Structure 1
Amino acid sequence: MRLRKHWWKILITTILILIAILFWFLRPYTASEEALSFLQSSEQVDVEMNSTWIEFSPRDTELEANVIMYPGGLLEHESYAPLAHSLAEEGFRTFVIKMPLNLAVLGGNKAQDVIKELGDEPVFIGGHSLGGVMASRFAAENEELFNGVFFLASYPDEKGSLWNKQVASISFLATNDSVLNRDRYDEAGAYFASDHLEIIIEGGNHAQFGSYGAQKGDTPASISTEEQLTQVSDALSEWITVQIK
């Protein structure tokens, strides 16, 4: 009789435990102090934040193109501020999208909010890890909007196949990355654009495509985060420039 009387207390306790477990598994990797320092405007870049994205705009450099970036799974979008800031310095207005629960799979269409705000400049979209997968799905469904798709330790799946699309693609791999599933990456070769370009970052790892510290299951990098992001920014900037000429 007492058990029946208190069944609702047991139910509530069980629900609270399940919610606590869910939040534990969904807790994100937080952006590093270094990343947060790039959220301030500088002489070269204006930084504006709203509830949907962070916008990095070139201040004194002529605007060449727009870049939309999807964060990796369970990674705070502020983690990509250093890379976005660097791209803006090169003339590319860059938008880092904030995802629901830090999961791009829950916000795959978020790019459409940015596109409504853009002019006639070329547009590129991409992302890190899970973010790249979801970015390619959006690009595959809206190929007329984009000039190219970039993948940071990521790849397109069948739903995001770019093979027969009128967009270019580029992927960045790091030799010390032990988070990326290499078998799936190789299988995804059939889904990259026909003129796909692959860039290898020697000594880099999965986590250093952003700036949020070490990631579980990753291998330590033998180069600094700054060096890895510089290589990515330089190669990505060069590739974008080629695509818009």
Structure 2
Amino acid sequence: MKISKRNVFRLCWFSLITVFFIWQWMAYQSRDLPEDTFKNDTRVSIEKSSDKITFIANSPKSKNEILFFQGGMTDPKAYAPLCRQIANNGYTCHLIKMNWRMPQWNYKKIAAIFELENGNYIIGGHSQGAKMASQFVYENPDLMKGLFLIGTSHPRDFDLSKRTIPTLKIYGELDGLASVSEVLENKDKLPKNSSLTVIKGGNHSQFGYLGKLLTDENAKIDLAEQQERTLKELIRFFNKIGIENEMDR
């Protein structure tokens, strides 16, 4: 039986497409998580539900709690090590699971899960999760105590420059999905009291425990170092918000 050139081309094309999507799917899976990521100990307790993974800070414990939005298409567990380390530093951290791994479809769910009006929450996330965290702040003024954006060029489609919410943007020097030029291009749309921090040698993928994502550049630092630097900047930011809240009382 003869196979036409057209059918051979179609077979090769669909095979390449299939391999590409499988590779992409694997890149967005969590990997190499530290063994203690989901283990309870004296400092951190873990609670899991269909909507979130909560890393509860046992001691010390801040009144402010963290809402962390996963990146688009990524396995939320890729951010569990960072969330655990946040809890190790005294901040209960809620890692929000998005339906179909799409924050843009599911970011408003936190309004039904938490009593946001009566709480002390700092919101943020990575990549598309950061975008939707900023979107939530835009749509719900004065509801959050702070905003942190990791590995994103947003806010891009709306303007937060008239807001006064404490804001931190962390970006990678070698981020191939949210480049330095894109980050700086939208700097004027951030709240006026925002601070920006670049992770030298860091890329997009290593903000989570992920494979190397398509179009991302090669990092010049390893995963552990990028995670440690990111954590350091986040804790400094959270602590500053706590001090400012105490001064306002």
| TM-score (normalised: structure 1) | 0.83
**Which secondary structure state, in structure 2, belongs to the residue aligned with residue 139 of structure 1?**
helix
CA distance in 2, matches of 1:161, 1:53: 29
**Which secondary structure state, in structure 1, belongs to the residue aligned with residue 186 of structure 2?**
helix
**Which secondary structure state, in structure 2, belongs to the residue aligned with residue 219 of structure 1?**
coil
Amino acid at match of 1:188: N
Structure 1 residue 138 and structure 2 residue 131: aligned?
Answer: no
Corresponding residue number in structure 2 for 1:75: 74
**8 A Cα contact 1:155 1:171, kept in partner:** no
- The change in CA–CA distance for 1:81 and 1:58 in structure 2 (over 3 A counts) is same
Alignment of 1:61-72 (within 5 A): 61-72=60-71
Structure 1 residue 93 and structure 2 residue 67: aligned?
Answer: no
Q: Write out per-residue CA displacement over residues 60-95 of structure 1, whole angstroms, 9 at most, x where no aligned residue.
A: 212341111111111011110011001101111111
Query: Structure 1 stretches of 5 or more lacking a match?
Result: 1-16
Where does structure 1 differ by over 6 angstroms across 4 or more consecutive aligned residues?
none
Amino acid at match of 2:143: L
Amino acid at match of 1:107: N
Corresponding residue number in structure 2 for 1:154: 152
**8 A Cα contact 1:133 1:160, kept in partner:** no
**Which secondary structure state, in structure 2, belongs to the residue aligned with residue 144 of structure 1?**
coil
Identity of aligned residues (%): 23
Alignment of 1:196-235 (within 5 A): 196-235=194-233
CA distance in 2, matches of 1:30, 1:85: 18
Q: Write out per-residue CA displacement over residues 142-180 of structure 1, whole angstroms, 9 at most, x where no aligned residue.
A: 122211111111143355532112311111111121121
Alignment of 1:107-122 (within 5 A): 107-116=106-115, 120=119, 122=120
Corresponding residue number in structure 2 for 1:9: none
**8 A Cα contact 2:147 2:166, kept in partner:** yes
CA distance in 2, matches of 1:124, 1:36: 27
**Which secondary structure state, in structure 2, belongs to the residue aligned with residue 33 of structure 1?**
coil
Query: Structure 2 stretches of 5 or more lacking a match?
Result: 1-13, 244-249
**Which secondary structure state, in structure 1, belongs to the residue aligned with residue 239 of structure 2?**
helix
**8 A Cα contact 2:164 2:192, kept in partner:** no
Would you say how many aligned residue pairs link Structure 1 and Structure 2?
A: 225
CA distance in 2, matches of 1:44, 1:181: 36
Amino acid at match of 1:41: N
| TM-score (normalised: structure 2) | 0.82
Corresponding residue number in structure 2 for 1:194: 192
Q: Cα offset for 1:199?
A: 0.7
CA distance in 1, matches of 2:94, 2:117: 11
Instruction: Report the aligned-residue RMSD.
Output: 2.4
Is the deviation greater in 156-165 or in 129-138? Answer: 156-165
Q: Cα offset for 1:41?
A: 1.9
Amino acid at match of 1:131: G
CA distance in 2, matches of 1:237, 1:156: 21
CA distance in 2, matches of 1:160, 1:57: 33
CA distance in 2, matches of 1:167, 1:82: 27
CA distance in 1, matches of 2:80, 2:34: 6
Q: Write out per-residue CA displacement over residues 188-213 of structure 1, whole angstroms, 9 at most, x where no aligned residue.
A: 21211101101111111101111112
